A and B are shown apart, each in its own frame.
Chain A
């Protein structure tokens, strides 16, 4: 499905050619199966956002390559959709208008894209909020709009860059649960960037632990907790605690 091969990325100081440049990513290799939920976990500055942006095609790689379904990624494509940390909503568009955006760019007709957008708004629980502007709704609701917009394009891979980083803790848990429910209904592959250990374990099939300077993959931890995870209290499961300890250990080294 998704294959990252020996990917490296360096950032040079634009104004100062003397400086050596920052190795943001060093020799990253990763492969993700269809319908898998993978979390990229690491401290700030480990390059996880850079990695997801390269996968999205928003940033070119300097070495190595990214393959989606065997095709090399050079630019954004309709097989991948991004959910942004700061939601990335267009403030002059209504909720419905924001969800429509991706389909509108594609050139889909007005009626059709409205219908589809309404369906996805219903899926994320925002029926009745179509005509609100983003600043009139809460952060959690704004990110639901972001998710609906991404899903409306039916991507093979959903790329999520710390999507719940900017909302409060309670909303965050609620959104996590809803994301899992939505993911269970659709058959998308999810790459999810986070720096929360609990979030990564709760959500994913596999936690990819990254270290910084240079940004690289330290270890991959398979999460074999039963699904669905929103029934009962998975976080109280002793296996959850073991995984948490293991991941924390790995991050610390």
Chain B
């Protein structure tokens, strides 16, 4: 276990290094990517641009620029090129918003995906199975920006059931206001995943239900409920938990860009999207590292949980 974690930590450092180098290089070859020109504005003279280059260190060799930028990431002194704000502070501000969205939506899609997957497997071939299957596929097919915009317009703006986007701090506005702001983003983000998860679980359950040990469980005189939960679902959920961990890591690391943007949650994902639009390297680099960290972290956790759920798997 100790060796496993040590190896994963080393792996994480390697991954984050590679990701940061790639991100940094990409933005140096993007057309119109020269930050000095952008910062100097439209009617700037070459002298002004040269001055900015000198001031910000853009005249230094690329590897020097990289190391100074990376140093600032870890000391928290990283400044955005586009609006001169502190990047680490911006991420810290967006963090609770992104976490609130990710955790709520992930719990919702896991619970609903499991429930619907199990239900459709038990009712396989009947009308209710077909109906839920159609709904699940519809959910998968609806783009988040479209579904989010619809929900926001009709439920938020027209019917005024929910606030029309934005985020409310629990400390300032209270728990209920916070929940009201989060319900639509949670549901919209979860919709896609519920569709996928329920389909995957349905087929897992239908595979497992024919396994010999399920027959043994029935022969033991267990109730059908116990057979389904303790034997069928317990084994069918193992791959779902893996999937869930990876998706959760992605959303936690700011991957729910569209949802955050549509509902104007001002989370890390939305910050990332805006920064990319401005070709603003420091925040893009920082958020990418932030996302990579969560994805690698959740990957490691998934492996540990997987070994706990399935005794045949050993961590090595």
- Determine if chain A interacts with chain B: no
Q: Which residues of A contact B (CB under 8 A)?
A: none
Q: Which residues of B contact A (CB under 8 A)?
A: none
